Amino acid sequence: MSHPHAIVVGAGIGGLTAARALRRSGWTVRILDRGDALAPTGAGMAVAPNALRALEVIDAAEPVRRLAAMQGAAGIRDPRGRWLNRSDVATAERAFGGPIVVTLRHQLVRILSEGIPAADLRTHTPVSGVEPGGPDAPAAVTTGAGERFEADLVVVADGVRSRLRTALFPEHPGARHSGVTTWRAVLPAPPTPAEPAETWGDGRVVGLMPLADGRTYFYAAERAPEGRRHPDERAYLLSRFGHWHAPIGDLLAAAAPEDFLHHDVPEMLDPLPALHRGRAVVLGDAAHAMTPHVGQGGCQAIEDAVTLALLLDGATPADVPARLPHYTAARAARTAALVRRSHNAARLAHATGPVAVLRPALLRLTGLLPTSVLARQFAPVFSWRPPAPGVPAVPGGAARPAREV
Ligand SMILES: Cc1cc2nc3c(=O)[nH]c(=O)nc-3n(C[C@H](O)[C@H](O)[C@H](O)COP(=O)(O)OP(=O)(O)OC[C@H]3O[C@@H](n4cnc5c(N)ncnc54)[C@H](O)[C@@H]3O)c2cc1C
């Protein structure tokens, strides 16, 4: 029996997880990325218990758990520093079924890339086209340099601005601006240690998350039209957040303007008609871009990738087209519901109209509720488990998602 062969386009969180998981199931995998995939870029990222469970399948959960730094209180504060909602991390861990590990994106990328031979990862190779193939024809991709590679499976993991999603589903409107813009930075430890928290006020959000190396992952978000930029992003952030509770002002004052990554946030409120076509699958942000307000974009990319490899376990090249509908069945409803839930969380976080008046009351109310009640709200998100390897007895099988997440 010949080894099935996959091409993965994009060596981000989803693409690397897919490559690791498919290799583990006996596939030969080649990864193509337009950039310098493993460079230490990007900022922080929270890895939730559902994603850690997926990472267990590829033996990558333990190294990620070792990066955990969060201790003490965590929750939501108002700009004056009053806790609107607070829980200690240990209680939350017990209630949520495991830790939420805040790490640096490039540390996660490094862990995911372990075991992938350097020869199988081609950087600086933009992919410009995809042919989905079918039962009797291989899938193929074309690079910007005009090379063409055929495969039994093409995994499209080229991120939120996915060119290949548009090629596979030309009638879909793609990802559109959510109305939210974000800043991210990894900053030195402030004089007053930061407790892990988000601060919400006036339709704006700041997050401070201590990292294992003592530094702080800072993020901020507000509503803004697409493309609005500031000559000095740090000066702008100081004007917006410098007067909020300590140590936000100190952290910003000690940072350099170039420390901040500023991105507008696209989302895909219209789901794709399917997450596969022929012998091609779409995963991660390319498939279901969501706002970061539930912290699940990368976690869902990891779930997608591990689910795909498990559903393809034991498949021959000829089996691939018949297996991929199981991937859509397992992933489409869950990820579409999370796009919607993230959108609603963003609306609450950035509300400035009449809803804004209700926001502190809502948060105080949830703050008064025991962590177990909050855990119930998040249970459908965090309690996900990987499907059994192979074709499920029922379409969607063990991975069938809850309708509401
Ligand atoms: C402010 C903010 C905070 C976030 N926080 C969290 C969080 O706490 N937890 C969480 O789970 N998620 C979070 N996310 C979301 C998370 O970052 C993304 O969902 C995740 O990175 C998606 O992974 P991916 O593999 O789909 O895409 P990416 O990681 O973006 O990777 C795409 C890859 O494809 C490559 N590529 C693109 N086009 C081509 C091409 N034509 N040819 C070849 N290669 C190509 C790119 O170079 C890149 O390496 C956050 C997002 C934002 C904006």
- Is the CB of 15 within 6 Å of ligand 1? yes
Ligand 1 pocket check for 53: Cβ under 6 Å? no
Q: What pLDDT score was predicted for residue 400?
A: 46
Pairing of strands 197-201, 73-77: parallel
Structure tokens at 255: 């940072």
- Supply the pLDDT for residue 404: 53
Which residue among 7, 16, 33 has the greatest number of ligand 1 atoms within 8 angstroms of its CB, and so is best to mutate?
33
Residue type, 355: V
CA–centroid distance, residue 103 to ligand 1 (Å): 15
Identify the residue whose C-alpha is closest to ligand 1 atom 2.
Answer: 292
Atom of ligand 1 nearest to the CA of 286: 26
Mean pLDDT by 10 residues, the chain (405 residues): 88 98 96 90 89 97 85 81 82 80 92 94 97 98 97 98 97 97 92 84 92 91 97 96 95 92 97 98 98 96 98 96 97 98 93 67 64 73 93 60 50
Site to substitute for ligand 1 among 9, 20, 30, 45, most atoms within 8 A of C-beta: 45
DSSP per-residue letters across 38-96? TSS---EEEE-HHHHHHHHHTT-HHHHHTT----SEEEEE-TTS-EEEEEEHHHHHHHH
Asked if residue 166 belongs to a domain, the reply is yes
Asked whether residue 183 is assigned to any structural domain, the reply reads: no
CA nearest to 268, candidates 167, 344, 340: 340
Question: To which residue do tokens 């946030």 refer?
Answer: 265
CA atoms of 212 and 246, how far apart (whole Å)? 21
Q: How is the chain split among helix, strand and coil, in percent rounded to 5?
A: 40, 25, 40
| Structural domain total, the chain | 1
- Give me the phi and psi of 105, to 5 degrees please: -55, -45
What is the 75 CA–ligand 1 centroid distance (Å)?
25
* Residue 319: inside a domain: yes
Q: Which domain holds residue 117?
A: 5-74+101-176+267-347+371-399
Let me know if residue 206 belongs to a domain. no
303 close to ligand 1 (CB < 6 Angstrom): no
The answer to whether residue 242 is domain-embedded is no
Residue 272 falls within a domain, yes or no?
Answer: yes
Predicted pLDDT of residue 284: 98
Q: For the domain that residue 56 is a member of, what is the CATH number?
A: 3.50.50.60
